[in-house]
């Protein structure tokens, strides 16, 4: 969804050109999240930091500059430099202190247009500016109130009410109170009126060289980079110095995503819901929003500061670069042998002939007994994460003996489906910030279920709020269409099944075979990646098609759903994953000699049934593409009656990991051949942080 980024340099001289470049590059690191417009705000001239302590001196601070543009970030960059060339703005002007904000917008309220782009303003003079990720659900009520007080609105966004509400609060406080109102008091009062999910950064000419960030639901991080020579990188920022004001030169960053921070610093603070982070005079104050404070009194609330510790990002800049690949999706498909190794590293134990083969999941070890005693296990996710859980459901049922049910997060919330104290609810999300999954997690916690998180993002909301969990450790995934996270999720859930069923003697041989299969899986994935050219050739045959059906069953019903999802989301071709057992209940009517149909028929318990499906489709002159295990080409397509894709055979519960790779490659090559944006599909976002 939307991406927000801010950069504040303190006691270190930076030219306006450099500040703009930092803001633009921050947005480039966030564009994979999906967007349709972008904007930045910088100061029009240098401000004396001594004036920032008094709100009455804002008149001496010129209005900040705001640049907004529909389209991609490069369009924004071009328009900014064009505007600068037409004015007397000096790009070489140096600032010892400066606060800039930037935003990529994914339209929710109002069409993509400059007036709807962020930063949104309080009105003439840009007294308050806001960038926002999320949705304000009560914005219409707030808008009506502000209109009655004389405010006029220029955009159709829900965000515009926020800076205007800040101006209203500021003006009201100065009318009623002789004391100077602080920036944080204004923001806390604004938060008290907002409903919905949001991450916000405020900038104001009343408070030059200050920024305030706050959040409820949407992700937000603070990055800290000290520039003093001779200070240790590991301990440069102790908590007390982190919170205190000092004159050490430093750079501070705010971002929706660690990807935009890692090239600057690895020292970050994951901002929690309800926290207000105030950057001022080289210090960072963290306040905790209390909705009850100030509700009944006239004066604005003044909460005390809280202390938080910085954490260290465990990622490298190289992870967010394309390397030698044309696109992130292509890179991430080909990274899967290594990402699977990383997912399993330290978790699989395969001793000598006398030692049992086991799985060690440290994040679950204290809760395994509770999970085994569960009334049922409920998988909850959206999109690709839901498909990964569906692929793992059969092996979890087989090894644990516990009933497993599947829930799409939004549907669970719509139905208010029953969740019991005796349930184990497993929340699957690549980002760990998916809005519907987070709301379902809150619902499950309220109902007393044991909540387990499976996510790729350390420190994400799901990782923090579940009772226990497993990080899939797939590495940074930039492409909107999930590839390596999907396969790592399946592997993690297979290991979860092994851990839960680990004390069952009757399943020992089966468990050991799966563990052996997991060890061999990266090599099998490497083998199937050799089909790249074959899938490119197939894509050339299908490039002009309008529709594609994918049939699967058993473990590979999820593969059919996920393969179809990949094709529709990046190649923009209608595709549908269908449970093969339902073929005769409607889908068979679509079959003719023109419609391409993929049938997944690798060796497992459902193989003979899939052979029957192939025969029935062939009898109706279906245009078949069959995926089968190596050596089975004649068994599935006698006489060369269909196009065959042969893949390595692995343990049945791991076969979905191998089988999805050709479909990922097909989707990728179809997209390139059709001329669409592989990494940023139309209308889609990487992390869905709004409902």
Over range 173-181, report the average pLDDT: 76
Domain membership flag for residue 583: yes
> What are the residues whose beta carbons fall under 8 Å from the beta carbon of 313, sequence distance 6 or more?
258, 261, 262, 266, 267, 268
CA quadruple 289, 295, 299, 300: dihedral, nearest 10: 20
**DSSP assignment of 227-286, as one string?**
--TT--TTTS--HHHHHS-----EEEEEESSGGGTTTT-SEEEEPPTTEEEEEETTEEEE
DSSP letter (8 states) at residue 321: S
Tens digit of pLDDT for each residue in 532-574?
A: 999 999 999 999 999 999 999 999 999 999 999 999 999 999 9
Q: Minimum mean pLDDT among 160-164, 270-274, 321-325, 597-601: which range?
A: 321-325
Compare 240 and 399 and report the one with higher pLDDT: 399
Q: What is the CATH number for 563?
A: 3.40.50.10490
Same domain, 212 and 354: no
Same domain, 140 and 118: yes
Same domain, 366 and 491: yes
Tens digit of pLDDT for each residue in 19-38?
A: 999 999 999 888 877 788 99
Q: What is the pLDDT of residue 299?
A: 59
Domain membership flag for residue 688: no
Same domain, 430 and 474: yes
Q: What is the pLDDT of residue 1?
A: 63
Q: What is the pLDDT of residue 666?
A: 97
Over range 499-515, report the average pLDDT: 84
Of the candidates 318, 350, 385, which is a domain's last residue? 318
Domain membership flag for residue 690: no
Surface-to-core class of residue 602, CB atoms within 10 Å of its CB (0-12 exposed, 13-18 middle, 19+ buried)? buried
Single out the residue of 239, 390, 381 nearest to residue 311, CA to CA.
Answer: 239
Same domain, 447 and 417: yes
Q: What is the pLDDT of residue 230?
A: 44
Residue of 2, 214, 451, 628 marked active site: 2
If pLDDT is split at 50, 70 and 90, which confidence band does 55 have? Answer: very low
Domain membership flag for residue 265: yes
Domain membership flag for residue 323: no
421 Cα distance to chain centroid: 29
Dihedral pair phi/psi, residue 197, rounded to 5°: -110, 135
Side-chain half-sphere CA neighbours of 245 within 13 A: 5
Q: What is the pLDDT of residue 368?
A: 92
Same domain, 516 and 411: yes
Q: Which residues pair with 6 in a beta bridge?
A: 101, 254
Q: What is the pLDDT of residue 292?
A: 62
* pTM of the predicted model as reported, rounded to 2 decimal places: 0.80
Q: Minimum mean pLDDT among 135-144, 348-357, 358-367: which range?
A: 348-357
Same domain, 615 and 655: yes
Reduce the DSSP state of residue 19 to 3 states and report it: helix
Domain membership flag for residue 355: yes
Tens digit of pLDDT for each residue in 182-241?
A: 999 999 999 999 998 889 999 999 999 999 999 987 789 999 988 764 444 444 444 455
Q: What is the pLDDT of residue 332?
A: 94
Tens digit of pLDDT for each residue in 631-681?
A: 888 888 766 778 999 999 999 999 999 999 999 999 999 999 999 999 888
CB 462 within 8 A of CB 433: yes
Single out the residue of 176, 171, 191 nearest to residue 122, CA to CA.
Answer: 171
Q: What is the pLDDT of residue 32?
A: 76
Is the peptide bond prior to 119 cis by the omega test (within 30 degrees of 0)?
yes
Asked whether the predicted pLDDT for residue 88 surpasses 50, the reply is yes
Could you tell me what percent of the chain has a pLDDT over 70?
89
Domain membership flag for residue 686: no
Surface-to-core class of residue 196, CB atoms within 10 Å of its CB (0-12 exposed, 13-18 middle, 19+ buried)? middle
Same domain, 292 and 358: no
Asked whether the predicted pLDDT for residue 353 surpasses 60, the reply is no
Of the candidates 318, 337, 355, which is a domain's last residue? 318
Tens digit of pLDDT for each residue in 102-157?
A: 999 888 888 889 999 999 999 999 999 999 988 898 999 999 999 999 999 999 99
CB 34 within 8 A of CB 480: yes
Same domain, 271 and 345: no
Per-residue burial over 411-436, b = 16 or more CB atoms within 10 Å of its CB, e = otherwise: ebbeeeeebeeebbbbbbbbbbbbbb
Domain of 201?
3-47+56-230+238-318
Domain membership flag for residue 430: yes
Same domain, 560 and 611: yes
Tokens read off for 322:
């394309």
Same domain, 139 and 175: yes
Q: Best-predicted range by mean pLDDT among 108-112, 215-219, 490-494, 620-624?
A: 490-494
Single out the residue of 613, 531, 687 nearest to residue 197, CA to CA.
Answer: 687
Over range 487-508, report the average pLDDT: 88
Could you tell me what percent of the chain has a pLDDT over 90?
61
Q: Which residues pair with 628 in a beta bridge?
A: 601, 646
Tens digit of pLDDT for each residue in 262-316?
A: 889 988 898 888 899 999 988 899 998 876 655 545 556 666 677 877 888 776 6
Helix, strand, coil in percent for the chain, rounding step 5: 40, 25, 35
CB 374 within 8 A of CB 402: yes
Q: Minimum mean pLDDT among 229-238, 318-327, 381-390, 609-618: which range?
A: 229-238
Same domain, 297 and 389: no
CB 461 within 8 A of CB 437: no
**Would residue 653 show up in a list of annotated catalytic residues for this protein?**
no
Asked whether the predicted pLDDT for residue 685 surpasses 70, the reply is no
Q: What is the CATH number for 220?
A: 3.60.20.10
Q: What is the pLDDT of residue 295?
A: 54
How many degrees, rounded to 5, is the angle at CA 17 between CA 13 and CA 21?
A: 105
Report the domain count for the chain: 2
Q: Determine the length of the chain.
A: 691
If pLDDT is split at 50, 70 and 90, which confidence band does 321 have? Answer: confident
What is the C-alpha separation between 529 and 665, in angstroms, rounded? Answer: 8
Tokens read off for 620:
């109706």
Of the candidates 268, 283, 318, which is a domain's last residue? 318
Please, what is the average pLDDT of the chain? Answer: 88
Q: How many separate helices (H) and strands (E) can be counted in the chain?
A: 20, 26
Asked whether the predicted pLDDT for residue 630 surpasses 70, the reply is yes
């Amino acid at each position: 969804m939307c991406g927000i980024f801010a950069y504040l340099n303190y006691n270190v001289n930076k030219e306006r050109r450099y500040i703009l470049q930092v803001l633009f590059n921050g947005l480039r690191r966030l564009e994979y999240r999906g967007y349709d417009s972008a904007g930045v705000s910088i100061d029009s001239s240098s401000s004396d930091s001594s004036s920032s302590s008094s709100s009455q001196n804002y008149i001496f601070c010129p209005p900040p500059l705001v640049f907004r543009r529909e389209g991609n970030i490069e369009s924004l960059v071009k328009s900014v430099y064009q505007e600068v060339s037409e004015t007397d703005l000096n790009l070489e002007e140096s600032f010892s202190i400066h606060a800039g904000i930037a935003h990529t917008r994914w339209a929710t309220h109002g069409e993509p247009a400059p007036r709807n782009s962020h930063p949104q303003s309080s009105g003439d003079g840009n007294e308050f500016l806001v960038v926002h990720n999320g949705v304000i659900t009560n914005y219409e009520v707030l808008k009506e109130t502000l209109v009655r007080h004389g405010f006029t609105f220029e955009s159709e966004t829900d965000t515009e009410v926020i800076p205007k509400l800040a101006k209203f609060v500021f003006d009201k406080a100065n009318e009623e109170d002789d004391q100077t109102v602080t920036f944080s008091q204004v923001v806390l009062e604004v938060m008290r009126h907002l409903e919905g999910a949001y991450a916000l950064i405020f900038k104001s000419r009343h408070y030059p060289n200050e920024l305030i960030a706050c959040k409820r639901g949407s992700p937000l991080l603070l990055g800290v980079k000290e520039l003093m020579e001779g200070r240790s990188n590991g301990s440069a920022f102790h908590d007390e110095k982190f919170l205190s004001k000092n004159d050490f030169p430093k750079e501070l960053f705010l971002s929706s995503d660690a990807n935009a921070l890692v090239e600057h610093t690895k020292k970050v603070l994951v901002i929690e819901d309800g926290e207000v982070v105030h950057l001022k005079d080289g210090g960072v104050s963290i306040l905790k929003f209390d909705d009850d404070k100030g509700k009944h009194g006239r004066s604005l609330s003044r909460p005390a500061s809280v202390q938080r510790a910085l954490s260290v990002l465990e990622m490298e800049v190289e992870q967010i670069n394309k390397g030698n690949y044309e696109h992130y999706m292509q890179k991430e498909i080909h990274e899967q042998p290594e990402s699977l190794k990383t997912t399993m590293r330290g978790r699989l134990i395969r001793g000598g002939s006398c030692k049992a083969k086991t799985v060690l999941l440290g994040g679950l070890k204290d809760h395994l007994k509770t999970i085994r005693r569960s009334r049922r296990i409920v998988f909850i996710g959206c999109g690709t994460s839901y498909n990964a859980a569906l692929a793992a459901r059969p092996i979890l049922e087989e090894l644990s003996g516990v009933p497993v049910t599947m829930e799409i997060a939004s549907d669970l919330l719509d139905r208010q489906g029953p969740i019991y104290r005796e349930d184990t609810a497993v929340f699957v999300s690549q980002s760990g910030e998916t809005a519907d999954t987070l709301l379902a997690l809150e619902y499950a916690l309220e109902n007393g279920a044991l909540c387990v998180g499976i996510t790729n993002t350390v420190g994400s909301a799901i990782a923090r709020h579940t009772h226990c969990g497993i990080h899939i450790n797939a590495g940074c995934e930039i492409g909107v269409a999930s590839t390596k996270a999907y396969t790592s999720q399946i592997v993690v859930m297979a290991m979860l099944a092994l851990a839960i069923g680990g004390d069952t003697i009757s399943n020992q041989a089966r468990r050991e075979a799966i563990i052996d299969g997991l060890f061999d899986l990266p090599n099998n994935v490497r083998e199937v990646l050799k089909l790249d050219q074959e899938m490119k050739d197939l894509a050339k045959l299908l490039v002009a098609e309008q529709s594609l059906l994918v049939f699967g069953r058993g473990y590979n019903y999820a593969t059919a759903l996920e393969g179809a999802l990949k094709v529709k989301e990046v190649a923009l071709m209608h595709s549908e994953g269908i449970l093969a057992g339902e073929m005769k209940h409607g889908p068979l009517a679509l079959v003719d000699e023109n419609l391409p149909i993929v049938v997944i028929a690798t060796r497992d318990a459902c193989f003979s049934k899939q052979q029957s499906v192939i025969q029935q489709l062939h009898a109706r002159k279906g245009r078949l593409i069959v995926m089968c295990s190596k050596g089975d080409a004649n068994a599935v397509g006698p006489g060369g009656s269909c196009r065959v894709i042969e893949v390595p055979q692995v343990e049945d519960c791991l076969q979905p990991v191998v089988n999805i790779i050709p479909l990922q490659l097909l989707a990728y090559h179809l997209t390139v051949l059709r001329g669409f944006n592989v990494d940023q599909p139309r209308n889609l976002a990487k992390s869905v942080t709004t409902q």
